[in-house]
A and B are shown apart, each in its own frame.
Chain A
């Protein structure tokens, strides 16, 4: 229990510390609007990529449809908050987006999760494309023109807090009965079935939870940027999230954080390079993959409980 408490307090200190640091930066003017934008983008990317890493890294399902669930959250928020521009409206909208995304994930997941690897990737990509095409053709979503003048109800603290909450939820899910079942299926589905684990049920659970966090990310995206269009949620967006997950290390949440921040820094630093930016960005990715194919952190996770135990063992030996 004490070990749990120590670890919990350490994480809380990091989360509060990060918040204070950004707050001081904003108050003293070190973090201007430009940097704040970049930070919020990083935060939203973390929310999205943590959910995707749960699906890809921990449950071992190669999904390329994350942007589709993000779109559901974004549009639900845009439509509801335009009619109810209050913080309450924003959270109701977010909840609605999450619920719709869960339903969509169930509809997509039940038939497709029996597929493996490349086949699943193509099927989820198709599902996300269907979501995008539907949005493109509905009146309520304003078609291909997209929606603008979305009330700005998500500030950087909202994004920061929700980033912490979704990460805690997903990491706690992983370190539990559910997470172990999900990882067992990833490592060997036949063996997992032989010990009484229903593969469909647990794969679906991870997929749905990942989709729900994608909706939260989409909701924040819509409210912070105030304009969205169907083209924001195409296959390239799913792939850029996949890049964060792969770059950080498939199966490492710490890696996802590091990768999202590193890519955010590269992206921001290259703003002045114009078209050369994408070339340098791509080159950085290629080099990283050549020299560190398992991602920046592999499967390493930052953990306070484990470190303490290692230190205790070292002390006792």
Chain B
């Protein structure tokens, strides 16, 4: 399998706190992996480093793109996004005043161009571009079953729908790699099952590599092919769901207890 993202001895230090300590892992193209661990284990910090939101203190992150390998550890978030890395957020971050469709359209900003004169004079090419990008957005909304709420401002939508809008917005950037930060948080079991099917469909249909952080073990265990476990910033276990479920270190990290016990 081809490597998509190589994380090489990455650490992040906040003052005296080592939030992520010397983590290395390789994500293969097309994989669906999960990152789990107790609260404060450094999962989101790791996500933030991988998406360029705040770079690592030490270590190297290499992304494979169509035009070769790129070191993204020093790049800004918008540059990483343009290279094909998309994400959702633990606390939903939508453009609340904008409609669902506009949230999708704006995610395509880097994929097309509208020149200033054409825009302000409303030349035919402007309408052509708007039509094309609008059609692509409609298609995506249809795939995510959001057509009915396309013109609603996102702030007025129910929580579960907002989560789905955040995923469609991330997918709209045409990513190679998608990071989902606790997509099932606050969802009931039925919504979680729907979400699980949606993630599988997205991965299959768009051929995107998916990495998710999740506390909902039903989602993780039936979706992820491979699981990495973080605790206190360090990777304590990795393996298939079956292996992780029986790993004594993982059980200890979740349930507590003395390491000598």
Contact = CB atoms under 8 A, between A and B. Distances in A.
B77 interface: yes
A195 B173 contact: yes
A47 to B, nearest CB: 15
B109 interface: yes
Contacts of B76: 193
Contact of B126 (A176, A190, A194): A176
Contacts of A184: 95, 98, 106, 109
Contacts of B122: 4, 8, 172
Contacts of B173: 195-196
B207 interface: no
B110 A176 contact: no
Contacts of A197: 78, 106, 109-110
Q: Which of B77, B112, B126 has the most CB of A within 10 A?
A: B77
B107 A195 contact: yes
Contact of A172 (B51, B77, B120): B120
Interface string B69-93: 0000000111001100011010001
B94 A188 contact: yes
A188 B119 contact: no
Contact of A180 (B77, B89, B105): B105
B109 A195 contact: yes
A183 interface: yes
Nearest to A187: B95
Interface string A37-51: 000000000000000
B87 A194 contact: yes
Contacts of A187: 94-98
B98 A194 contact: no
B169 interface: yes
A190 B78 contact: no
A315 to B, nearest CB: 17
Given A194-B51, A196-B173, A169 B120 contact: yes
B93 A188 contact: yes
Contact of A198 (B53, B78, B89, B114): B78
B94 A181 contact: no
B120 A194 contact: no
Contacts of B81: 193-196
Contacts of A193: 53, 76-78, 81
Nearest to A183: B98
Interface in A182-204: 183-184, 186-188, 190-199
B114 A188 contact: no
B49 interface: no
Interface string A158-184: 000000000011001100111011011
Q: How big is chain A's contact interface, by range?
A: 20 to 34
Contacts of A181: 106, 109
A276 interface: no
Contacts of A251: 97
Interface in B112-166: 112-114, 116, 119-122, 126-127, 129-130, 133
Given A173-B120, A197-B78, A180 B53 contact: no
A196 B96 contact: no
Contacts of B98: 180, 183-184, 187
A177 B109 contact: yes
A191 B170 CA distance: 10
B114 A195 contact: no
A277 interface: no
Interface string A1-17: 10010001000000000
Contacts of A178: 114, 116, 119
B118 to A, nearest CB: 9
A168 B122 CA distance: 10
A181 B173 CA distance: 13
Contacts of B119: 172-173, 176-178
A191 B94 contact: yes
Interface in A272-289: none
A196 B82 contact: yes
B109 A191 contact: no
29 contacts: A169-B120, A173-B116, A177-B105, A177-B119, A177-B133, A178-B119, A180-B105, A183-B98, A184-B95, A186-B97, A187-B96, A188-B95, A188-B96, A190-B93, A191-B94, A193-B53, A193-B76, A193-B81, A194-B51, A194-B77, A194-B86, A194-B87, A195-B106, A195-B173, A196-B78, A196-B81, A196-B109, A196-B110, A197-B109
Given A184-B109, A191-B89, A192-B95, 12 more contacts: A4-B122, A172-B121, A173-B120, A177-B133, A178-B119, A180-B109, A187-B98, A191-B93, A193-B76, A195-B81, A196-B82, A299-B97
